[in-house]
């Protein structure tokens, strides 16, 4: 028996339905109960013995989303699934990837250990904050990139005099990939971060005068870095400024910052749902469902998915 089964945690129902539609499948029946004391209880309502199970769950806050995925993996293992793939559109805690000061946890490694120990056979995710997180796992990790969907979106816009900007040194690799495929020049913003969720622009390396600029990043949290980057580019003569990010956390007043900024449009994917109050005329959602659906199909059929690593 080699049936493909798709299930979703509570954090990714919106995306799982679109992925299932791409695959001409249905999201499986999964019962989630929260007891009076707050404990989470998971049960598969259908037989998954011998099946190829894909569990879709983004790991944005609250932390219960992580627990729910772990319990789903354990329940699938105990139900004798043939293989369990954790599909994690947004891998939370990825920014805590190193010991950069004394007495701190490498939290992204802890998450990787939990997923592996609980029984996941492989991981399918998109735009990790740093690529080396893949090395925290002792199981296969398929790392997709949002550029697969964003490049097509921006090619259709046919932007002239385009320059791609990296909002900081850490995002240079991503921005360079966009610049190369969009046949555009690359500029780099030298950013300083004195403490978490606070940043300012030191300088801009490259010319943006009379250019349309695309700022590419993997996530937006409070929005300060992106808005400050756009402001610095505008002050240096940029024309229209566009931005894209894979994971729209949009914490606190991030949407208000974007609405009041010089950014003409922010394109995001649907790895994290935009909740009421976080929507804006400036924010355009570009779905990643087809990319994840194709990756799931090829994984199930034991085919290469390297063409999706754009």
pLDDT at residue 56 in the model: 98
Interatomic CA distance for residues 217 and 194, integer angstroms: 20
Provide the b/e sequence for 71-92 (b: ≥16 CB within 10 Å).
Answer: bbbbbbeebebbbbbbbbbbbb
4-144+290-308 fold: Rossmann fold (3.40.50)
Over the stretch 247-299, which tens digit does the pLDDT of each residue have? Answer: 999 999 999 999 999 999 999 999 999 987 788 999 999 999 999 999 999 99
Question: What are the φ and ψ backbone dihedral angles of 184, each rounded to 5 degrees?
Answer: -125, 160
Over the stretch 161-174, which tens digit does the pLDDT of each residue have? Answer: 999 999 888 888 89
Q: Which helix (H) or strand (E) holds 41?
A: strand 40-44
**Angle in degrees, CA 264, 270, 274, rounded to 5:** 70
Residue segments in the chain with a per-residue pLDDT below the cut of 50: 1
Residue 191 is among the residues annotated as catalytic for this protein: yes
Q: Which of 43, 99, 173, 191 is catalytic?
A: 191
Q: Could you give the angle at which helices 107-118 and 64-78 cross, rounded to 10 degrees? A: 20
147-287 fold: Rossmann fold (3.40.50)
pLDDT at residue 200 in the model: 56
| Same fold across 4-144+290-308 and 147-287 | yes
The pairing of strands 52-56 and 83-88 is parallel
The residue ranges of every structural domain in the chain are: 4-144+290-308, 147-287
Of 288, 249, 295, 299, the C-alpha closest to 18 is: 288
pLDDT at residue 192 in the model: 65
pLDDT at residue 275 in the model: 84
Give the 3-state secondary structure of residue 15: helix
């Amino acid at each position: 028996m080699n049936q493909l089964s798709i299930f979703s945690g509570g954090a990714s129902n919106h995306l799982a339905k679109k992925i299932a539609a791409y695959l001409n499948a249905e999201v499986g029946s999964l019962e989630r109960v929260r007891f009076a004391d707050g404990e989470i209880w998971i049960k598969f309502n259908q037989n998954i013995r011998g099946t190829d199970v894909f569990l879709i769950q983004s790991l944005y806050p609250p932390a219960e989303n992580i627990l729910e995925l772990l319990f789903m993996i354990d329940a699938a293992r105990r139900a004798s699934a043939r293989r369990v793939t954790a599909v994690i559109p947004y891998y939370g805690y990825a920014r805590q990837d190193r010991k950069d000061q004394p007495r701190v946890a490498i939290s992204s490694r802890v998450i990787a250990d939990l997923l592996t120990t609980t029984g996941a056979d492989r991981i399918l995710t998109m735009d990790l904050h740093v690529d080396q997180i893949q090395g925290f796992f002792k199981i296969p990790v398929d790392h997709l990139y949002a550029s697969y969907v964003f490049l097509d979106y921006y090619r259709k816009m046919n932007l002239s005099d385009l320059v791609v900007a990296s909002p900081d040194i850490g995002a240079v690799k991503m921005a360079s990939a966009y610049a190369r495929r969009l046949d555009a020049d690359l500029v780099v913003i030298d950013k300083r971060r004195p403490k978490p969720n606070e940043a300012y622009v030191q300088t801009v390396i490259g010319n943006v005068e009379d250019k349309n600029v695309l700022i590419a990043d993997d996530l937006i949290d409070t929005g300060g870095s992106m808005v400050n980057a756009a402001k610095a580019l505008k002050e240096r003569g940029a024309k229209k400024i566009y931005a894209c990010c894979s994971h729209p956390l949009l914490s606190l007043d991030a949407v208000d910052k974007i609405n009041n900024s010089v950014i003409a449009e922010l394109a995001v994917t649907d790895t994290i749902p935009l909740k009421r109050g976080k929507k804006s005329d400036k924010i355009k959602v570009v779905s990643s469902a087809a990319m994840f659906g194709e990756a799931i199909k090829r994984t199930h059929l034991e085919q290469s998915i390297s063409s999706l690593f754009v």
